[in-house]
Amino acid sequence: MRSAYADKVHELVSRCLQARDLAYCPYSRFPVGAAILTAEGAIITGCNVENASYGLTVCAERTAVQRAVAEGHRRFLAIAATGRGAPAPDIRDRFVGPCGACRQVLMEVRVPRFGSDWTVYLTKPDGTYKETSLSELLPLAFSPEHLKLN
């Protein structure tokens, strides 16, 4: 991550862990939290919110993006995401990345009007994290650039 924001990484990871604890996930019992760092230095959080009609469930990463955009943010530097699974107790020993749909949403807000490639912190339940990038998580992605008309 850019050195000017390196001190924010600990706070970003901490906030994603806190957001995870607010998740509403009675069906999967797999709480997920996310925290986005904006170019202005704000941290916007989100958690997964499940629905009995499973298709209406919203993931933590998408919740955070939607909140950030609704609050007027348009440039993003990083996102931290974490999960803790009751059905998968061994999750504490693995990094879990955003689902495919969330990766695509993050790609949408990665384009020039929203910023550049994101730094992604895959975070274990104990707070340890692994740094990667959105382009590593979603190579050869479909993006708004593909919809430009000639």
User: Token pair 């790609």 is at which residue?
Assistant: 107
Catalytic residue among 61, 71, 108, 145: 61
What local confidence, expressed as pLDDT, does residue 82 receive? 94
- Each residue's pLDDT tens digit, 77-128: 999 999 887 666 666 678 888 999 999 999 888 655 555 678 999 999 889 9
Q: Give the CATH H-level superfamily of domain 3-147.
A: Cytidine Deaminase, domain 2 (3.40.140.10)
Q: Is 53 annotated for ligand binding?
A: yes
CB 122 within 8 A of CB 95: yes
How far is residue 72's CA from residue 36's CA, in Å, rounded to a whole number? 13
Domain boundaries, the chain: 3-147
What local confidence, expressed as pLDDT, does residue 107 receive? 87
Rg (CA), the chain: 15
Q: Distances in Å between the alpha carbon of 144 and those of 96, 108, 131? A: 26, 7, 25
> Is residue 61 annotated as part of the catalytic site, yes or no?
yes
Task: Provide the token pair at 144.
Answer: 């708004």
Backbone angles phi, psi at 147, to 5 degrees: -95, 0
- Each residue's pLDDT tens digit, 1-59: 555 567 899 999 999 999 999 999 999 999 999 999 998 999 999 999 999 999 999 99
**pTM of full prediction above 0.85:** yes
